[in-house]
Structure 1
Amino acid sequence: MIYLGFIFSIVILIYAIYQNFKHDEWRNKYWDEVRVHLDTQSQLDAAHEEINDLTNKLDLFEETIRKNEKEESQEVGVYVSQRKLRPATPDLYRVVFDMDVNGQRILEDLTKRFNRNAYVSDAHGGERETCRRLGQSEPVNFILQQINLANDPDYSEAENDE
């Protein structure tokens, strides 16, 4: 019986030593993991700090650019840039709509769209539609009138330069 107690205590001792080694192994793994986590956390914090610094620098650059744009846009002095457009002459209408192929296409399209028969019976809108169609055809007729005026041999630019 004593031998049995002695064997039993040796088995318990071996089991305790085995558990101690297992515990040390798990503790080492745990602290290795904690160190890795701490290193990763410190790298992440450093990256966040760098991102914040770069974001602040970017904001400062954008602010200085906006200030520079405001300073450049504010003109000081008496200088005034003004562009005075002259009215279109019949020669200009002729060059744009008569001599240029694209201008001829545009004028032909405008004529087809807006120079229709102006009269509309009362059943389809009557007087109101007639007035609308006459109003639509007026710009096209004006362009054609200016082209014809420029093609007239008696026309001179000086007459229209008033």
Structure 2
Amino acid sequence: MIISVAVLLIVVLILAVGWWNEVNKNQELKSQIEKYQDELSERPLPEANKESEPDEVGTFVKTRMSRPATPETYRNVFDLDVNGQRILAHLAHMYTTKSTYVRGGHDAERESCFRAGQADVVGFIYRQINKVNDPNYKQEDEVND
């Protein structure tokens, strides 16, 4: 019985010391917070000096929903405009003049598919232009490929 009372007193003493340490830590934190708040309140706020700082400049980009491109759009851009013709000729030279087939293994197959995809984009532009230049073309019959 005496041993159990002694053990109980030791446990109570340990808990009391732990509680006392927590109380002291909280008081130290509160005093540090008050110290920092006093220090911050003594500092003056920086004043904006408008003469030395230029106004912010930039470009505001607003996106808007536009109608999808029609075959006539392709004709206007790549067939009727001189700069569009130059760009289309350059794209055709860059991506349709070389063979799409590459000899080799798995990596060569991927390269072949990549080149075929590049050539197909230029081919799509030509198909859209030819669709509009067809005398039987009507805008209502338009279906995107």
**TM-score range, shorter-chain basis?**
0.5 to 0.7
Shift of 1:82: 8.0
Q: What are the superposed Cα offsets for residues 78-128 of structure 1, whole Å, 9 maximum, x if unpaired?
A: xxx9832100000110011011111000000000111121111228x5312
Partner of 1:127: 109
Partner of 2:132: 150
- Structure-2 separation of matches of 1:90 and 1:97: 10
Structure with higher helix content: 1
Partner of 1:137: 119
Structure 2: any 5+ residue segments left out of the alignment?
Answer: 1-45, 57-61
- Structure-1 separation of matches of 2:99 and 2:71: 26
TM-score computed with the length of structure 1 as normaliser: 0.47
Q: 1:82 to 1:110 in 2, by over 3 A?
A: closer
Partner of 2:94: 113
- Structure-1 separation of matches of 2:109 and 2:93: 22
Q: 1:57 to 1:133 in 2, by over 3 A?
A: closer
Aligned residues, how many? 89
Structure 1: any 5+ residue segments left out of the alignment?
Answer: 1-54, 67-80
Q: 1:56 to 1:120 in 2, by over 3 A?
A: closer
TM-score computed with the length of structure 2 as normaliser: 0.52
Q: Secondary structure at the match of 1:58?
A: coil
- Structure-1 separation of matches of 2:63 and 2:119: 34
- Structure-2 separation of matches of 1:161 and 1:142: 13
Q: Which runs of 4+ in 1 moved over 4 A?
A: none
